[in-house]
Structure 1
């Protein structure tokens, strides 16, 4: 069983309003795969996590579109204690160790470089790198 499969099971149980079991699957994902992928996040079916999502942390209300690839040690979530998470478009590649933080939108076909810290929205068909991330 992969981390995305345990997420899918937990998400299905959550949507069906079956209590307790989504949390059990969420904890199992955290223990087995060392990642935090909450069942409240909206993640498309064909999103891939490299290295089984090792070290990935995703915020509760995050939306991740079709065909996105998330590499290891990526953080996607809110910032400064505000629970406003990113919306990530389709066919996005998020490099290893990148952080995508805040109430921002990442357009489709965006590439985020390894170690980048994205704090502002990124238009579609753009590559961003650096701290803070800038288009190249």
Structure 2
């Protein structure tokens, strides 16, 4: 079983308002795969977590579109204690060690470079790199 399968089971239970068990699967994902993928995040089908999502941390209200690829040690979530999480479009590639923080929108087919820190919206078909991330 992979981390996305444990997420899917937990999400299915959560959406059907079955108590307790979504948290069990969430804890198993954290323990086995060393990643935090909450069942409250909306992750569409076809999303790939490379290296079984090693070190990935996702915020509770994050939305990740279809066919997105998330590499290892990526952080996607709120910033400054504010629970406003990113919305990531379809077919996005997020490089290893990248951070996407705050209420930002990542457009379809965008590429986030390894180690980039994204604090502002990224348009469709755009590549961003650096700290803070800038379009290239």
Same fold judged by TM-score > 0.5? Answer: yes
TM-score by length of 1: 1.00
Report the counterpart of residue 111 of structure 1 in structure 2. Answer: 111
The structural deviation recorded for 1:118 is: 0.1
Structure 1 unmatched ranges of 5 or more: none
Aligned pairs (5 A) from 1:114-125: 114-125=114-125
The whole-number CA distance in structure 2 between the counterparts of 1:29 and 1:49 is 13
The structural deviation recorded for 1:58 is: 0.1
Q: Deviations over 1:84-110 (max 9, x none)?
A: 000000000000000000001000000
Report the counterpart of residue 56 of structure 1 in structure 2. Answer: 56
The whole-number CA distance in structure 1 between the counterparts of 2:51 and 2:129 is 22
Report the counterpart of residue 135 of structure 2 in structure 1. Answer: 135
| Equivalent position SS for 1:14 | helix
1:98 aligns with 2:98: yes
Structure 2 unmatched ranges of 5 or more: none
Q: Deviations over 1:58-104 (max 9, x none)?
A: 00000000010000000000000000000000000000000000001
Report the counterpart of residue 33 of structure 1 in structure 2. Answer: 33
Figure out how many residues of one structure are paired with residues of the other and give that number. 136
Report the counterpart of residue 70 of structure 1 in structure 2. Answer: 70
Q: Deviations over 1:6-51 (max 9, x none)?
A: 0000000000000000000000000000000000000011100000
